[in-house]
């Protein structure tokens, strides 16, 4: 059943994210149900689901948006563009408070935030977040937005062979924090081997590799159990237990599995 629909004329919506529910509140109060969306003209729009209206429009980017997410407390919006610029904006004021050009020149493919224990990695703030760009680079940051702090924690560059002839577009570079292993992120992308890499932020090294049948086109990590969901170009979705175990393959698609997501449960 279609409950509500938002239409923006003459612009394509490239990415969107739900505002996280306030900590300790379940079910989520209706008034805090918001969706943020990024558009091809560089604008960010915040929609209230309960009031079925656009609450805010911001223009933090000069290029089309390719990734967007809320901070874990819902107080900031992180957005990434086709030009590799990452902007941090406040949905309360509509102001952009940070612009990060570290990935400049390569489209942002993933932005993700996660809570962390204070001083976990020797940086201040209660939040870790990562940005991934299509040139196989991942940056990891520690931040405290209320104190206006944002510090680079780690910078990963994954090697790859020269681009194969005749391949129009390379498989995407995708990374995600691991919900069941603290201080770990998982990466898939075009590289020397077809595999999923597990990287420890503490040891600053890859400590586990899971071989894949092809380069991944989408990635999702279960918040409740040690499983990866990985989509492939040959119409396949794989459920991969970690660290070991036989994968389950699902062939329910008739095209590339461009996006896959575990439900929050």
- Percent of all residues in the chain with a pLDDT value above 70, rounded to a whole number: 93
pLDDT for the residue numbered 164: 61
The answer, yes or no, to whether residue 24 has pLDDT greater than 80, is no
State the pLDDT confidence band at 31, using cuts at 50, 70 and 90. low
The answer, yes or no, to whether residue 165 has pLDDT greater than 60, is no
* Residue 257 structure tokens: 């599995």
pLDDT for the residue numbered 75: 93
Give the DSSP letter string of 188-253. E-SSSSSEEEEEETTTTEEEEEEE-SS-EEEEEE-SSSSEEEEEETTS-EEEEESSSS--EEE---
CA atoms of 54 and 8, how far apart (whole Å): 10
CA atoms of 38 and 17, how far apart (whole Å): 9
pLDDT for the residue numbered 129: 96
C-alpha separations of 130 from 113, 143, 181, 182, 250 in Å: 7, 11, 16, 15, 29
- Percent of all residues in the chain with a pLDDT value above 90, rounded to a whole number: 80
The answer, yes or no, to whether residue 204 has pLDDT greater than 70, is yes
The answer, yes or no, to whether residue 196 has pLDDT greater than 70, is yes
pLDDT for the residue numbered 122: 74
The tens digit of pLDDT for each residue in 82-98 reads 999 999 999 999 999 99
CA atoms of 36 and 58, how far apart (whole Å): 11
Neighbours of 49 (CB within 10 A): 17
The tens digit of pLDDT for each residue in 112-157 reads 999 876 567 777 778 999 999 999 999 999 999 888 889 999 999 9
The answer, yes or no, to whether residue 174 has pLDDT greater than 80, is yes
The tens digit of pLDDT for each residue in 50-85 reads 999 999 999 999 999 999 999 999 999 999 999 999
The length of the chain is: 265
Q: Which residues contact 169 (CB under 8 A, 6 or more apart)?
A: none
State the pLDDT confidence band at 162, using cuts at 50, 70 and 90. confident
Express the helix, strand and coil content of the chain in percent, nearest 5 each. 0, 45, 55
pLDDT for the residue numbered 203: 94
CB 177 within 8 A of CB 222: no
pLDDT for the residue numbered 137: 97
CB 106 within 8 A of CB 86: no
Nearest CA-CA partner of 187 in 161, 208, 162: 208
The overall average pLDDT reported for the chain is 92
């Amino acid at each position: 059943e279609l409950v509500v629909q938002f239409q923006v004329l003459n612009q394509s919506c490239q990415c969107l994210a739900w505002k996280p529910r306030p900590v300790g509140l379940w079910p989520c109060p209706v008034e805090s149900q918001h969706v943020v969306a990024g558009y091809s003209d560089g604008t960010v729009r915040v929609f209230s689901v309960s009031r079925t209206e656009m609450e805010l429009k911001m223009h933090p980017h000069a290029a089309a948006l390719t990734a967007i997410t809320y901070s874990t407390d819902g107080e900031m919006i992180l957005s990434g563009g086709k030009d590799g610029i990452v902007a941090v904006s406040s949905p309360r004021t509509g102001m952009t408070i940070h612009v990060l050009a570290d990935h400049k020149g390569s489209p942002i493919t993933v932005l993700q935030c996660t809570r962390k224990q204070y001083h976990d990695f020797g940086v201040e703030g209660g939040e870790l977040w990562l940005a991934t760009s299509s040139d196989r680079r991942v940056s990891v940051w520690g931040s405290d937005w209320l104190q206006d702090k944002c510090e680079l924690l780690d910078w990963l560059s994954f090697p790859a062979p020269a681009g194969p002839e005749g391949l129009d577009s390379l498989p995407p570079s995708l990374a995600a924090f691991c919900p069941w292993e603290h201080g770990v992120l998982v990466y898939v992308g075009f590289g020397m081997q077809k595999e999923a890499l597990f990287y420890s932020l503490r040891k600053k090294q890859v400590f586990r590799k899971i071989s894949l049948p092809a380069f991944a086109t989408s990635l999702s990590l279960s918040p409740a159990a040690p499983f990866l969901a990985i989509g492939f170009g040959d119409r396949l979705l794989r459920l991969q237990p970690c660290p070991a175990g036989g994968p389950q393959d699902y062939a329910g698609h008739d095209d590339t599995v461009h996006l896959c997501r575990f439900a929050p449960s």
